[in-house]
Amino acid sequence: MYKQTEITLTPKSRGFHLITQDIDKALQQLPPVECGILHVFIKHTSASLTINENADPTVRADFESHFNHMVPENQPYYQHTLEGPDDMPAHIKSSLLGSSVTIPVTNGQLSMGTWQGVYCCEHRDHAGSRTLVLTLQGE
pLDDT in tens, 49-63: 999 999 999 999 999
pLDDT in tens, 103-128: 999 999 999 999 999 999 999 999 99
Q: Which CATH superfamily is domain 2-138 in?
A: YjbQ-like (2.60.120.460)
State whether residue 65 is helix, strand or coil: helix
- Where in 43-124 does DSSP place strands (E)? 47-53, 100-106, 109-110, 116-122
| Domain boundaries along the sequence of the chain | 2-138
Give the whole-angstrom CA distance, residue 133 versus residue 139: 20
In 10 A of CB 7, how many CB atoms?
Answer: 17
Report which of 24, 50, 53 is spatially closest to residue 116, judged by C-alpha positions. Answer: 53
